[in-house]
Structure 1
Amino acid sequence: MSSAPPATESASASRRTVARPGTVLTLIVTAYLMVGLDATVVNVALPDIRRTLHFSPTGLSWVLNAYTLAFGGLLLLGGRIGDIVGRRRALTIGVLLFAAASLAGGLAADSGPLLAARAVQGAGAALIAPSTLALITTHFAEGPARHRALAVYSSMAGIGASIGLVVGGALTDLASWRWALLVNVPIGVALAAALPRAVRETPRHTGRFDAVGAITGTAGMFLLVYAFIRVSDSGWSDTRALTCFASAAALLVGFLRVESRARQPIAPLTLFRDRGRAAAYAVILLLPAGNFGAFYFLTLYVQQVLDYSPLRAGFAFMPLTAGVFATVRVVPRLLARFGAKPLLLTGSLLMVAAGGWLSRLDLGDGYATGLLGPMLLLGVGVGLSFMPLNATILAGVTPREAGAASGLLQTFQWLGGTLGLAVLVTVYGTATRGAHGSADAVLVHGATRAFEVGAGIAVIALAVIVTVLRGYRSRTSE
């Protein structure tokens, strides 16, 4: 049963909130920008973090994975919490938790506390992300107003990732890598103070938390990612890695069984009955899986091979940001005219081309010849793809399902990036194990093999779009 207020009261509240849509959208996208920014803000600081806290080359990826794994693994539970306690309240709690963890990470004196703080940051992000997307679906009516809001929102993932590299580089160069985390503290406090004043609360729904589903799903994904990282260090014959793969499979199968029987599941499997939505979920898992690792390896390339400073390395990613920002401005009009599928086909083709281009990277390539073109292609591809995917997934979702649908969307996107990075790090570790030559030559050899696999994952996403996906426009016109 729902404890929502009467329909007339709810509608009135909605109208009062949308009277200031710019303020609401600004706060929502700022919160989401903070989440996306922290997925990469420490990337350009990784060499400094490695030297300071003595990480191994493959273990260093856990500075990223600890965040994205906790984030993705807890997103479904975060969406359910928002349904029960109210999405504005969940967003505010998430922002405060995120800020507190950022403070702890910035002050960490050892690798263990840093990784723990990054995981708690991910837990805060798991409350933030589904709440922001659900607030858009409940504050902006389906149609042009929501399309414009989603275009701005969707751009924050790609733009936030690139801005994170610039901010992280600037802070690392001018102060310390610690400030890449500490900068979140004042932003989080300001957001937490502004949200209750500007954004009205959504109706709450009674119910209970699906704790078993959350535990089995999160543990299964954690073990799967850990197994891939373990393989990158110890090889495919490692007993612990194989045990983790088997345990992960058992837990994830158990998760599906729990969700199919739960009265109030954190991942309602009924959302996958619609063919177009199910295909869109698959694509939003695969595209980040194929491309998220590009940030990791390109950051190492520009600092180790091209010898860029952290600040210069951050600015090296600005063409990607420019490509995303320029593209998302026209996507709502393109979506209304052509529908989602043509945009997704074009965007995924550009991502495949970017991955293929990067796989040809050579030790003698400079920035202009080796990186500028792929970054532009990747930026435009991201800009064309993610807003139509969001619109396809959220079309026709009832307000009561908004939290679960948003949580699933964010879960697939961020777990795709986390799992993809783990796979590509494994490919890199396998390719460089026993490799000869200079450190730069070994890095380029491993990175290009990883880019090849990333392009292959994007090809699979393209195949799903071609053969299965029914676009947003065709579904809403039925």
Structure 2
Amino acid sequence: MYRSSSPAPAVDVLHAKRWWALGVLSLTQLVVVLDGTIVNIALPQAQLELGLSDGQRQWVVTAYALAFGALLLLGGRIADYWGRKRTFLVGMLGFGAASVFGGVAQSGMELVIARGLQGAFAALLAPASLALLTVTFTHGRERNTAFAIFGTVAGTGAAIGLLLGGALTEFADWRWCLLVNVFFVLAGLIGGLLFVTESKAPGENRYDLGGAITVTLGLGALVYGFSLAEHGWGSLDTIGFIALGVLLLAVFVFIESRVAQPLLPLRVVLNRVRGGAYLIQAVIGSVMVGATVYLAFHLQIVLAFSPFVAGLASLPMTVVIMICVPFLTKLLPVIGPRPMMIGGPLIAAVGLFWLSGVTPGGDYFTQVLPGLAILGVGMANLFVPVQNLALTGVAPEDAGAASAMANSAGQIGGGIGLSVFTALYASAAAAEAEADPAALLASFTAGYSAVFTAAAIAMLAGAVIAAVFIRGRKEELMPHVGEAPAAVHV
């Protein structure tokens, strides 16, 4: 009897489309993350050309993280309610326009505003892309693979940004560190239209305006307060803005416990495992942003590397991560996420402690390279499971909010971490300069050593967080491990 075989190609096409969608969404995550660091190496040239003050120079980095982190939760709900694909495409267009504005900026203020606009549109892009990934890969080994790839791209984006920024600054112009985003945006728009399927939360939905205002202002005040710590932890401005941020966030939590359709349903963060994953993502964000920024300074100022060579010299961490991820992805269903979540920060802390031994007359191959390699092994152990844990068990209607929380944790952690590390750097460098005013490079390396030591301590705290929060059998922590792939729900 004749039987039609026509359904099979449709399944194959759907299967292939999912993996193309993963490529598009991963590209989005790459450009969002690398833009947090791509301008770091370009800052000296940009400061000279535009006449930036030291304060404006810091805000070129901080404005992006501040706008990104403060608006992520609102962006996540917009994605849930308005449509994730639609939000993704609008975010792409806006991000590209802001990048062009920054690339042609004629003053320091214009550049800072452009970076803030980039962060605002990234706050639409990031949760939309992660939510799309969540509803596209729902079960089984494919979900593990997809999240491992996505998490690795997110984790290595900072290092790739340093490399690309160094190449563009040295061989083209610092403005191309912003203009290069146009190519990513075009690829994302075309890929999004072709391969990404629309999805949104069901039913009638209302925006939680009170929650949106309080969390945005609260996170903004908190990050700004920490950015003032460089001028003294005891200053009235520093204490005042940090206290204001904490107060507004407390009001936000109160609002979320009362409204019918909260911006961030408290059930998303009160889950022990997901809450622990968010805290660890904040630690990862602080270390990846802070450590890469001061590593770039050490490579260029102390070791006198050119911008491109400095970017290239930071690449071993990324290479090690890429080598480790395939092996760890296969290992994850066998041992579960808990050993990786505890062991990863401990290994990363060893690498950071190694980097804290930098000296003015030190050598890259003995003082820097081993630390980067060890740090890469530790980070790979975190990148494979952390995104998955942050979204495990999330209801489809909460996918955007949970995705936003995962990204916001990393961005706010990065913004606060960079501010704290900057304050520690300034204090250690000033103390060394006071002891020996003639030893300028020694004061720099004293500051860098303090930053790397603090980052190592943060990683040790991450291991403690994992031990306390990431508890249970692997089947409980990741219930989809070992299941057959389920149908795609979009």
TM-score bracket for this pair, using the shorter chain length: over 0.9
- Contact kept? 1:290, 1:456, Cα under 8 Å: no
Which of 308, 315, 321 pairs up with 2:305?
308
Match of 1:84?
A: 81
Match of 1:419?
A: 416
Match of 1:286?
A: 283
How far is 1:342 from its partner?
0.7
Gaps of 5+ in 1: 1-12
How far is 1:204 from its partner?
4.4
Match of 2:362?
A: 365
How far is 1:14 from its partner?
10
Structure 1 245/40 Cα, relative in aligned 2: closer, same or farther at 3 Å?
A: same
How far is 1:203 from its partner?
3.6
Spell out the pairing of 1:42-57 with structure 2 (5 A cutoff): 42-57=39-54
SS at match of 2:257: helix
Match of 1:474?
A: 476
Match of 1:70?
A: 67
* 1:296-349 deviation digits (Å, cap 9, x = unpaired): 101011111111111111101110110111121122211101000111122111
Q: Distance in 2 between matches of 1:198 and 1:61?
A: 38
Structure 1 stretch 312-321 or stretch 52-61: which is displaced more?
A: 52-61
* 1:183-231 deviation digits (Å, cap 9, x = unpaired): 1113213322331222121144431222222222222222222222222
Structure 1 228/14 Cα, relative in aligned 2: closer, same or farther at 3 Å?
A: farther
Structure 1 42/175 Cα, relative in aligned 2: closer, same or farther at 3 Å?
A: same
Q: Distance in 2 between matches of 1:323 and 1:297?
A: 20
- Contact kept? 1:349, 1:381, Cα under 8 Å: yes
How far is 1:448 from its partner?
1.0
How far is 1:92 from its partner?
0.6
Structure 1 stretch 398-407 or stretch 83-92: which is displaced more?
A: 398-407
Match of 1:433?
A: 430
Q: Distance in 1 between matches of 2:161 and 2:288?
A: 16
How far is 1:15 from its partner?
9.1
TM-score, normalised to structure 2, is: 0.90
How far is 1:16 from its partner?
6.6
Match of 2:486?
A: none
Structure 1 stretch 157-166 or stretch 96-105: which is displaced more?
A: 157-166
Structure 1 158/278 Cα, relative in aligned 2: closer, same or farther at 3 Å?
A: closer
What root-mean-square deviation, in Å, do the aligned CA atoms of Structure 1 and Structure 2 show?
2.0
One-letter amino acid of the structure 2 residue matched with residue 456 of structure 1? I
Which of 185, 207, 214 pairs up with 1:209?
207
- Contact kept? 1:142, 1:395, Cα under 8 Å: no
Which of 23, 32, 44 pairs up with 2:20?
23
Match of 1:3?
A: none
Structure 1 459/192 Cα, relative in aligned 2: closer, same or farther at 3 Å?
A: same
* 2:452 pairs with 1:451: yes
- Contact kept? 2:40, 2:162, Cα under 8 Å: yes
* 2:108 pairs with 1:111: yes
- Contact kept? 2:428, 2:446, Cα under 8 Å: yes
One-letter amino acid of the structure 2 residue matched with residue 407 of structure 1? A
Structure 1 477/124 Cα, relative in aligned 2: closer, same or farther at 3 Å?
A: closer
Structure 1 96/442 Cα, relative in aligned 2: closer, same or farther at 3 Å?
A: same
TM-score, normalised to structure 1, is: 0.93
- Contact kept? 2:392, 2:478, Cα under 8 Å: yes
SS at match of 1:396: coil
Q: Distance in 2 between matches of 1:477 and 1:78?
A: 28
Match of 1:299?
A: 296
Spell out the pairing of 1:333-352 with structure 2 (5 A cutoff): 333-352=330-349
Structure 1 224/430 Cα, relative in aligned 2: closer, same or farther at 3 Å?
A: farther
* 2:244 pairs with 1:229: no
- Percent identical: 37
Structure 1 stretch 45-54 or stretch 332-341: which is displaced more?
A: 45-54
Match of 1:399?
A: 396
How far is 1:263 from its partner?
1.7
- Contact kept? 2:352, 2:456, Cα under 8 Å: yes
How many residues are matched?
465
Structure 1 270/197 Cα, relative in aligned 2: closer, same or farther at 3 Å?
A: same
Q: Distance in 1 between matches of 2:253 and 2:138?
A: 32
Match of 1:136?
A: 133
- Contact kept? 2:42, 2:174, Cα under 8 Å: yes
- Contact kept? 1:339, 1:474, Cα under 8 Å: no
- Contact kept? 1:58, 1:425, Cα under 8 Å: no
Q: Distance in 1 between matches of 2:396 and 2:223?
A: 33
* 2:386 pairs with 1:389: yes
SS at match of 1:125: helix
Match of 1:220?
A: 218
Structure 1 49/184 Cα, relative in aligned 2: closer, same or farther at 3 Å?
A: same
Structure 1 141/231 Cα, relative in aligned 2: closer, same or farther at 3 Å?
A: closer
Structure 1 stretch 167-176 or stretch 467-476: which is displaced more?
A: 467-476
